A and B are shown apart, each in its own frame.
Chain A
Amino acid sequence: MSTPSALERIESTGLSTAIREGGLPYPIIGGFHLLSIALFGGMLLMTDMRLLGWALKTRKVSDVWQMALPWKRLGFVVVVATGLLLMWAEPVRLYRSPSFWTKMAFFALVGLHALVFRRGVYAHPEKLDAGVSSRAKLAAAVSLVLWTGLIVSGRLIAFDASFDQ
């Protein structure tokens, strides 16, 4: 498969080489990637499970939402920033990895999910305090499926043929 020359140019930049071959930088960035997955994923699980009525049922939906929101935001920013750095380090191998493209497809669906459910569900969590609408439950269920897909496809990248060493 031919590789876009832009990716080869990225791979020859100083930053890319430093992350890829520098020893410590890659695992440190990877460690922060994991830490932000814990923060973001943990809070996503709690809010989605609250909407589905599985967790924190004694607390109002809007309270759980407000508790989790700053950490979801912080986690999201860090997970995307560290993810971009990890992509910058080995764009050619990722370009050839089917699981990477699966992961990016899930990421696009996450964006679509946010667009679809923002107005009816996420913009006004206080409206769900009286009772969680079936639309909100659907949003939570889809969100759990999408983020599980992101995790699984992300893990599978390491097992793709382009990553055989």
Chain B
Amino acid sequence: MNSAEWVFPAVQSLHFIGFAMSIGTIAVVDFRLLGFGRRYLEPSQLAADLAPWTLAGIAVMLITGPLMFSTDAVSYHLNPSFQFKMICLLMALLFHFTLHRRAVRPGVGPLPAKLAAATSLLLWSAVLAGGRMIAFV
């Protein structure tokens, strides 16, 4: 990947499309749980509709991310923003596939659903902010 100068920005662009697909769809479900957005669908239906695309986006993210990491593994490993991003990513993924998955099921009370949505938005925002910081720290 270090051999041609266009490869890194190309992989980075795919990484962007991957996170748009995953974090975009997650955010819309979270906003719906918080009571925003059109209500023609129940949050559980919306989440079920979007889940395959969330997963596809996560897959693209998790393939392109390590590819970029491999170009300069030592610097990334030592970069505090990268470390912060990885901790947040691990928490966001764990949360998404455990508590968040339960929170979008039908019949969950409004308070736990809203708490889960707010936590999810916070964790994924932290992942994005941490990623943005890598170039600066």
Which A residues contact B (CB, under 8 angstroms)? 26-28, 30-31, 33-35, 37-43, 45-46, 49, 55-56, 58-59, 63, 66-71, 148, 151-152, 155-156, 158-159
CB-CB under 8 A from A59, the residues of chain B are 49
Interface pair A41/B20, CB less than 8 Å apart: yes
The residue of chain B having its C-beta at the shortest distance from the C-beta of A26 within the complex is: B136
Partner of A41, one of B17, B37, B133: B17
B residues 1-59 in Cβ contact with A at 8 Å? 5, 8-10, 12-13, 16-17, 19-25, 27-28, 31, 36-38, 40-41, 46, 49-50, 53, 57
Q: Which of B16, B53, B131, B132 contacts A151 (CB 8 A)?
A: B16
Chain B interface residue count, CB cutoff 8 Å, equals 37
Q: Are B40 and A38 in contact (CB under 8 A)?
A: no
Cα separation A77 to B13 with both chains bound (whole Å)? 21
Other than the given A34-B129, A42-B27, A159-B8, 18 more pairs (CB < 8 A) read A31-B132, A34-B132, A35-B23, A35-B27, A37-B20, A39-B28, A41-B16, A42-B23, A42-B24, A46-B25, A46-B50, A63-B40, A66-B38, A67-B38, A70-B36, A71-B31, A159-B5, A159-B9
CB distance from B33 to the nearest CB of A (A): 14
In this complex, what residue of B is CB-closest to A59? B49
> Which residue of A has the minimal Cβ distance to B136?
A27
| Residue B74 lies at the interface, judged by CB distance under 8 Å to chain A | no
Say how far A73's CB is from chain B's closest CB, in angstroms: 11
